[in-house]
Each structure stands twice: as C-alpha cells, then as structure tokens.
Amino acid sequence: MESRLTHGIRSILRIRGLRQRWLISAVLPVTLLVMAAVAIFTVASAQYYYSSMISGLEARARIAADTFTSYGVRSYNEYYRLASYSVETFEEKDVLELQFINTNGRVQASSYGLTAGTSPRTPDIESAVGGTMGYFQGRDQQTGENILSVSCPLIFNARVMGVLRYVTSLRAVEHQIVMSFLAASGIALLVVILILISNTIFINNVVEPVAVVSDAARRISGGSYGIRIDNHYQDELGELVDNINDMSLKISQAEQIQQEFVSSVSHELRTPLTAINGWAETLEVDPFGSEEQTQRGLAIIRKESRRLTAMVEELLDFTKIQDGRFTLRVDTVDLVSELEDTIYTYRELFRQEGIELDYLLEDEDIPSAAADGERMKQVFSNVLDNACKHGGAGKRIDVRVSREADELVIRVRDYGLGIPPEELPFVKQKFYKGSSKARGSGIGLAVCDEIVKLHGGSFEVSNADDGNSGTVVTISIPLSVNGETEKE
C-alpha cells in the first residue's frame, strides 16, 4: 500500500513538473513578448501625443507672432498696450496660457494673471530672446506641475522686442497616456489569460495520456507483461500507445518463450542425464552382466553423452552470439566436401531410422570458398538433424547442391508435414519451437542463421511449393567472401 502511494505521489510530481516546464517554456516567452509590446506601444503613444502638441503649439505661436508684428508697432508703449489687450481678449484661457515676456525673461502680461511679474527662466524663453523659436517640456517651478511651453520671438525693426509664449498643462495628455497604457495592459492581460487557458487545456490533454503510459510502463517494468493500454488517440500519442502495447506484447511473448525454453532445456538435459545415470548404475550393480547388455549400455551412454555435449555447445554458441563474441576462423574451404562428410555421417543414422537420404551435386565445377569449415559443418549437421526430427515421418530427405551466379546454394528438403504458415516467420527466432513436440532447445536454427549471416550468406526456411508436403531449408554462401577471421 505504501509503495503504491509513493508511486502515486511521484507520478503527480512528474505531471506537475511537466506542466510547469511546459507553461514556462510556452507561456512565459509570450508573456514577456506581450509586456514588451505594451511598453513599446505606451512609449510610442506618449511620443505621438507630445510631438503632436509641440507641433500644434509651434504653429499657433508662429501665426500669433506674425499677426502681432503685422500691426506695425512703433514704440514700447504701443507694444505693451497691444500685449495687454491680447491677453485680456484671449478666449482659450481654460486650456492655454498666453504670455508676453520681455527680453530680460520677465512675464509682462499673462492670460493667467498670477504669473505676471515672474521669471520662468526656461530654455524656450532663452532661445526666443536669442531670436529662435523653442519649446520646453518639464516641471513648472511656480506650480510644480508638468507643462509644455512654446516661445516665439516678437521682432520689430529687426530687433527682438519681446517673446510670445504659449503654456499648457500636460495633465490631460498624461491622463490619456495612462488610459492608453491601461487599455493596452488589459488587452495584453486578456491575451495572456487566453493563452494560459489554451495551453493548460492542451498540456492536460498531453499529461493525462503520458501519466497513463507512464503507469503502464511502470507496471511492465514491475513484471506485468502483456498489459495493454486503450488507444483513443490518432496522433503521436496514439503511435506511442501502440508502441507501448507492442512492446508489452513482445515482452510477454519473449517471457513465455523463455519460460518454455527453460522448461524444454531442463527436460532435454534431464533425459540424457537420466539415461546415463541409469545405465551407469546398472553397469555398476552388475559389472559382470551379459556382453550384449554391457555393449548396449555403453552405446546408450556414449550416444546420450554426445547429445548432451551437442546441446551444451549449442547453448554456448548462442551465448556468444548474444554477447557479440561469436566469430569465425575463416580459411579457404571446400564446402561441398564438408557437406558430403556430414551426409556420410548422417546417412547410416537415417538408414537406421528408416529414412532415405538422397544427395545430388548438380554442378561439378564449384570452387572453394572463404569460410569457417567447422561452423559450416555445424550448420549442415543441425539442418539434417532437424529434417530427421521434424520431417522424418516422410521417410525421405533430399539434399541438392548447385552453383547459382557467384553463390553456393544448398537445399535440404524433407517430406514431413511441413511448418504451419503462421509459424514460418518465427522459426529462426531464439527459443521458438511453435507447435513442434520434437526434442530440442529451439535455438539451433537461430545459431545456424547467425553463422550463415557472418559468412555473408542467407538462411531461409520455407514449405515446399511443388504440391507435396515438407520443408525446404535453403543455404546460400558467396563463393568470394571477406569473412571475419579470428586470430588464434
């Protein structure tokens, strides 16, 4: 119970970690991008508003100054009376302040009377006194609020007599900028929320199947081979689930085959050992028995010992194949002679079993090949032994040798019941015996296949296609092979 709870907690933490990484990698960059867009929009809006106000005030100040100087003022008194009249009749006192400033920077007349007599001393005034229009954006020393001012020189007789200045508060503009920022922020927040919701839905649709697959993988690693996950997906997750299910099935099959292999090998080892022990005890109890009984017992012991030795060597070869230590001692070998030696050995054994062995060399001109003679003889022996065990009921075995292009082709055909079609694709797999009840470990063909492949050839098992029952094993070996040679 505790172990299951621990696995559950770990699974939740893994899901949280996956969701967190996903949201950080997907949502955080978008959030930062949206924040940057809001900042750029706010700055651009502020610059637009300020530049528009400056351009507008400069245009108005230039027009007002031209109008003012067009009256042809001839004395300072006339200038002052005209400035006073202008500020008294100024109609935009609520949004703008009109000022007339002397060349010393002192306000002589103002539409906002409280500033009269003050000296603002801003850069725009200094620029206008020097004969050039200027503007100022910043904090007013008298009121403490942010203002925008534009100053234009009043020139009479080629001499600056005074300065016309427009002053406006930036409070409304700043409020507009703040509102634009809040609106942009609200839209950005809405976008981020929508992205967060959509990504949360998406990641949940990913995390839940991953959790199911992870739990299934954990159960498989714990020994629950063969379990399947219901596949409701048509995308990459569906492929992942199919792969997990396929892996689980193959592991289950491999586990079953391995168990059957252990059981089969145990039985195969026990049979010769039982015969050897039984006859050894018999001969030990009655050492002076009849000569016929003694010879029979020794023959059985010798036969079963060879059989046991062959099984052990087969297992050792298979272990080398699995470890990648299986190599060849390649030399120039007459494979036809090696095959004929093997046939000569098995022909008498087959005769005792009532099986006719028919051998035919279809091509006389077959050169030697670069091969491991002992390993190839092992292949020939295994194939003939299998033909006897599985196809001996047909009482006939044919061996045909021919040269096809640059390959030596050997076909061994029996006339037994053949192999069920559904089992043919698996007969060369390790431990596989299918429905066969014949003795053996189920790794002989796998070893043969590996040996032939190391020679650069092919090893095929099929059923006869001539209308008769039986199995055909086809061995093809290149007559010119750059094999791997094991140094002694």
What pLDDT score does 166 carry?
94
Residue 398 β-bridge partners: 358, 413
- Residue 141, domain extent: 71-169
Number of domains in the chain: 4
User: What confidence score (pLDDT) does residue 378 get?
Assistant: 86
Q: What is the pLDDT of residue 398?
A: 93
- 42 shares its domain with 184: yes
Q: Does some domain include residue 228?
A: no
Concatenated DSSP letters for 166-219?
EEEESHHHHHHHHHHHHHHHHHHHHHHHHHHHHHHHHHHHHHHHHHHHHHHHHH
Counting as low any pLDDT under 70, the low residues of the chain are 1-19, 225-226, 232-233, 257-269, 271, 287-289, 314, 318, 321-324, 430-442, 467, 480-488
Longest dimension (CA), the chain: 164
End-to-end CA distance of the chain: 58
Which residue in the block uniquely carries the two structure tokens 């809006």?
Answer: 45
Would 52 be classed as within a structural domain? no
Q: How far apart are CA 370 and CA 481, in angstroms?
A: 6
User: For the segment 257-297, what is each residue's pLDDT rounded down to a tens digit?
Assistant: 666 666 666 656 676 777 778 778 777 777 666 777 778 77
Residues 258 and 381 reside in one and the same domain:
no
Which pLDDT does position 76 carry in this prediction? 78
Q: What is the domain-level CATH number for residue 361?
A: 3.30.565.10
Both 213 and 332 in one domain: the answer is no
User: Looking at residue 82, what is its pLDDT?
Assistant: 87
Does residue 34 sit in the same domain as residue 81? no
Determine the pLDDT at residue 233.
67
Whole-angstrom distance, CA of residue 409 vs CA of residue 332: 17
Based on the domain organization, do 260 and 280 belong to the same domain?
yes
Helix, strand or coil for residue 7? helix
Shared domain for 142 and 35, answered yes or no, is no
Eight-state DSSP code of residue 105: S
In a domain, 290, yes or no: yes
Q: Could you read off the pLDDT of 402-416 as tens digits, one per residue?
A: 999 889 999 999 988
One domain, residues 244 and 337: no
C-alpha span between 413 and 398 (Å, rounded) = 5
pLDDT for 365: 82
Helices (H) and strands (E) in the chain, counts: 9, 12
The partner residues of 139 in beta bridges, in order of sequence, read 146
Question: By the 8 A CB rule, do 457 and 477 touch?
Answer: yes
* 163/180 same-domain check: no
* 231 located within any domain: no
Mean of all residue pLDDT scores within the chain: 81
The pair of three-digit structure tokens given for residue 91, joined into one six-digit string: 């109609």
